[in-house]
């Protein structure tokens, strides 16, 4: 009689033992491979390893392995065996650039045959497994180990190819390089994947180039460089291990760093580089698909107001997003009309000549979308009257001449249309330059009205954007801020400052308090206070009229810096100016 209280061994446990015995016995049968497979192995990410050994039984190369068992592989109509590969090991091999090759074994328990896959970059790229839990692999009969000697020869060839990439590195250097690339790839393929897709849209994996003891000629004088390091993008279809010797391919190298007098700190380099990638994400701009609708309206608001000068629509009349798009396309197409030689007036020819002189100096992205219409206002009106089509489309390719601000405006318009938002809603109806010379009281009242609306809506807009970008709460700002606005006058010009107190909180919040000050001294320090701040940079946000977008960027950046241990710096939000957050 069975005692039901005694733990029983499952069939799966016996099958696992059998699969390991089959594989170990097969690989070790010629004495050229030593296996290190453990039953119920708890090693994260892989199931053990095997080593190639030489004639003196000394290990010469280690391979990491994944071992899977199956009751019986079934032949399909094309004479191949279909098997569903789990992708967690594939992702591990892709992310962890290593000198140790990786082999995926499948043991057929019925026939006691072993099938195998070498997880080279070529194979990983071909499998296209990202974002999937399993992928189908079609084993051929020749993918089984029918001849152990032939299998060993293949492993020796793989080992030689792999060693070529690491031949000039010490074990410590290899470990440091692997850790550096792992750090970058794990973050960029993990929590920061949307940042990676924005900065490197076609990137499969980041590779690293690293060499020591180079000599470089500066003004014909040889200068010894102790360390040369750079990242390079490993795109789909490009095959290598992700580690190379440094070369001078400047079109490919990214974030190049030279060390003089001391060896490069690869760990520090990888952290600083990831920080630069994050900053570049905000410099390039958050993808509009992640932004709330009101922030998109804020992005196109300046265009709509400026375009009123060139179109006869009354300012009081509501505009559709379709009409905003039509305005942009007319401005774009008129520029194309002039640059393709169709302009006949003196103004139009002069406009083209000015543009050509800029192009001759190899400059791109230099024109506002309004440039040609400003220079040739009457001619532009005549052009518009000849374009009666309601669903007008872009003609030519003028985006290479347009400033990034104009391009981003068009992308925001397109995103609003994709969301089927039909009506344009103005966001900020003020002109800061009208306030500058007001008396202090009037100036401060105007600023407070804007800031009250801005800062009361900011927490919800920030949370919405954050949740669209990240799947983790690791970078979420949860702090509570109390603030007050003050005005100072210098040489008859008003300047706005914000006094704020920073407290730990469960959810990001902003609260106005007229008594708030940054100048506190013991014992008048509120309980739970973390820090205080007095900042004039808030005025720059109001001047720029992208209050929601710019402050969301600063909050996202602050959270990433805190989550990754970076020192928070100023953000390159504007073309010629970095921005310091005012909180």
Q: What is the pLDDT along the chain (583 residues), one digit of tens a residue?
A: 455 555 554 666 777 889 999 999 999 999 999 999 875 555 567 888 999 998 888 888 889 999 999 999 988 989 999 999 999 999 888 877 566 899 999 999 999 999 999 998 888 888 989 889 999 999 999 999 999 999 999 999 988 877 766 655 666 777 787 788 888 988 998 999 999 999 988 777 787 777 766 565 556 666 666 667 787 777 665 555 566 667 767 777 777 777 765 667 888 889 999 999 999 999 999 999 999 999 999 999 999 999 999 987 776 678 999 999 999 999 999 999 998 888 889 999 998 888 888 777 666 677 889 989 999 999 999 999 888 777 788 887 788 888 888 999 999 999 999 999 999 999 999 988 888 778 899 999 999 999 999 999 999 999 999 999 999 999 999 999 999 999 988 878 888 999 999 999 999 999 999 999 998 877 778 888 999 999 999 999 999 999 999 999 999 999 999 999 999 999 988 766 788 899 8
2 within a domain of the structure (yes/no): no
Whether 3 is in a domain gets the answer: no
Report the pLDDT value the prediction gives residue 386, as an integer from 0 to 100. 87
The CB density around residue 454, as the number of other CB atoms within 10 Å, is: 19
Whether residue 133 sits in one domain with residue 40: yes
Does some domain include residue 1? no
Cα(117)–Cα(137) distance, rounded to whole angstroms?
Answer: 9
Alpha-carbon distance 45 to 48, whole Å? 9
Please answer whether residues 165 and 99 qualify as being in contact, where contact means their C-beta atoms are separated by less than 8 angstroms: yes
Same domain flag for 346 and 394 = yes
Is residue 406 within 8 A of residue 369, CB to CB? The reply is yes
Please tell me whether residues 330 and 401 are part of one structural domain: yes
What DSSP character marks residue 72? Answer: -
Is residue 189 a part of any domain in this protein? yes
Neighbours of 358 (CB within 10 A): 13
Predicted pLDDT at 140:
94
> Domain ends where: 373, 404, 427?
427
What was the pLDDT predicted at 538? 94
Of 167, 130, 134, nearest to 241 (Cα)?
167
Distance from C-alpha of 480 to C-alpha of 503, rounded to nearest angstrom: 5
Judge if 314 and 273 occupy the same domain.
no
At residue 316, the pLDDT reads: 67
- Which sign, positive or negative, has the C-alpha torsion 570, 573, 578, 583? negative
Rounded-to-integer distance, Cα 342 and Cα 143, Å: 65
Max alpha carbon distance in the chain (Å)? 107
450 and 487: one domain? yes
Calculate the CA 566 to chain-centre distance.
16
Residue 549 maps to a domain: yes
Residue 83: give its domain's CATH number: 3.40.1350
Q: Is 131 left (phi over 0), alpha (psi -120 to 50) or beta?
A: left
- The answer to whether residue 517 sits within a structural domain is yes
Residues 36 and 99 placed together within one structural domain of the fold: yes
For residue 345, give Cα distances in angstroms to 94, 299, 342, 352, 368: 60, 34, 10, 11, 21
Closest among 406, 419, 413 to 296, alpha carbons compared: 413
CA angle, corner 189, sides to 554 and 209, nearest 5?
A: 100
In this structure, are 389 and 496 located in the same domain? no
* Shared domain check, 121 and 61: yes
What is the residue range of 155's domain?
Answer: 11-164
CA 394 to chain centre: 30
Cα gap 455→485, rounded to integer Å: 12
Choosing from 399, 427, 455, the residue where a domain stops is 427
| Cα–Cα distance for residue pair 194/291, rounded to 1 Å | 13
Spatial contact of 477 and 555, defined as CB atoms under 8 Å apart: yes
8 A C-beta contact, residue 242 and residue 217:
no
What confidence score (pLDDT) does residue 6 get? 54
Looking at the DSSP assignment, which residues form a beta bridge with residue 121? none
Secondary structure (3-state) at 255: strand
Phi-psi domain of 255 (left: phi exceeds 0; alpha: psi -120 through 50; beta: other):
left
CB atoms closer than 10 angstroms to residue 44: 7
Evaluate whether residue 157 is within a structural domain: yes
Examine the fold and report which residue of 98, 129, 164 is the final residue of a domain before the chain moves on: 164
The reply to whether 158 and 27 lie within a common domain is yes
Could you count the other beta carbons within 10 Å of the beta carbon of residue 247?
13
Note the Cα 409 to chain centre separation in Å: 21
Contact (CB, 8 A) for 71 and 109: yes
Helix (H) or strand (E) holding 500: strand 493-503
Determine the Cα–Cα distance for residues 113 and 109; give it in Å rounded to an integer: 7
Q: Tokens at residue 415, please?
A: 């995103």
Same structural domain, 461 and 332 = no
Distance CA 43, CA 40 (A): 9
For the chain, the domain total comes to: 4
User: In terms of domains, do 176 and 268 share one?
Assistant: yes
Residue 48 and residue 15 share a domain: yes
Is 400 among the domain residues?
Answer: yes
Nearest CA to 46 among 118, 94, 128, 102?
102
Q: Is the peptide bond before 523 cis (omega within 30 degrees of 0)?
A: yes
């Amino acid at each position: 009689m069975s005692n039901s209280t005694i733990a029983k061994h499952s069939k799966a446990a016996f099958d696992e033992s059998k699969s390991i015995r089959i594989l170990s016995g097969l690989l070790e049968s010629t004495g050229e491979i030593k296996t290190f497979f453990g039953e119920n192995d708890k090693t994260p990410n892989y199931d053990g390893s095997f080593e190639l050994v030489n004639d003196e039984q000394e290990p010469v190369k280690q391979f990491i392995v994944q071992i899977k068992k199956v009751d019986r592989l079934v032949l399909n109509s094309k004479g191949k065996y279909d098997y569903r590969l789990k992708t967690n090991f594939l992702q591990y091999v892709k992310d962890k650039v290593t000198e140790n090759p990786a082999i995926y074994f499948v043991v057929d328990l019925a026939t006691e045959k072993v099938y195998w896959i070498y997880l080279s970059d070529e194979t990983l790229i071909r499998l296209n497994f990202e974002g999937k839990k399993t992928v189908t692999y079609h084993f051929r009969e020749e993918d089984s180990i029918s001849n152990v000697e032939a299998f060993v020869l293949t492993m020796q060839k793989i080992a030689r190819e792999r060693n070529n990439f690491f031949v000039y590195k010490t074990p410590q250097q290899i470990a440091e390089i692997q850790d550096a690339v792992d750090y970058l790839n794990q973050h960029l393929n993990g929590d920061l994947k949307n940042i990676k897709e924005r900065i490197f849209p076609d990137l499969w994996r980041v590779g690293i180039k690293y060499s020591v003891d180079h000599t470089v000629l500066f003004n014909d004088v040889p200068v010894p460089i102790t360390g040369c390091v750079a990242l390079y993008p490993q795109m789909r279809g490009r095959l290598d291990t992700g580690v190379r010797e440094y070369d001078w391919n400047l079109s490919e190298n990214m974030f190049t760093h030279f060390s003089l007098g001391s060896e490069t700190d690869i760990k520090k380099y990888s952290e600083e580089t990831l920080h630069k990638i994050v900053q570049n994400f905000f410099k390039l701009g958050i993808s509009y698909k992640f932004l709330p609708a009101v922030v998109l309206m804020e992005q196109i608001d300046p265009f709509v107001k400026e375009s009123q000068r060139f179109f006869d629509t009354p300012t009081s009349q509501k505009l559709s997003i379709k009409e905003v798009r039509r305005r942009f396309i007319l401005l774009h197409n008129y520029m194309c009309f002039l640059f393709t030689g169709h302009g006949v007036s003196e103004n139009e020819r002069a406009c083209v000549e000015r543009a050509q002189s800029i192009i001759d100096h190899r400059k791109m992205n230099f024109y506002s979308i309004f440039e040609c219409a400003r220079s040739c206002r009457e001619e532009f009106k005549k052009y518009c009257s000849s374009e009666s089509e309601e669903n007008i489309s872009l003609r030519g390719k003028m985006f290479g001449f347009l400033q990034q601000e104009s391009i981003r405006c068009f992308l925001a318009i397109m995103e609003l249309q994709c969301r089927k938002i039909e009506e344009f809603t103005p966001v900020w109806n003020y002109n800061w330059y009208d306030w500058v010379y007001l008396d202090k009281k009037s100036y401060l009242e105007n600023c407070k009205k804007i800031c009250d609306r801005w800062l009361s809506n900011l927490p919800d807009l920030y949370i919405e954007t954050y949740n669209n970008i990240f799947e983790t709460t690791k970078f979420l700002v949860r702090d509570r801020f109390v603030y007050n606005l003050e005005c100072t006058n210098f040489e008859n010009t008003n300047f706005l400052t914000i006094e704020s107190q920073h407290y730990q909180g469960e959810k990001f919040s902003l609260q106005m308090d007229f008594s708030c000050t940054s100048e506190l001294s013991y014992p008048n320090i509120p309980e739970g206070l973390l820090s205080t701040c007095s900042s004039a940079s808030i005025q720059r946000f109001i001047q720029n009229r992208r209050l929601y977008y710019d402050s969301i960027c600063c909050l996202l950046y602050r959270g990433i810096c805190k989550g990754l241990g970076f020192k928070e710096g100023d953000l390159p939000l504007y073309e010629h100016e970095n921005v310091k957050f005012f909180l």
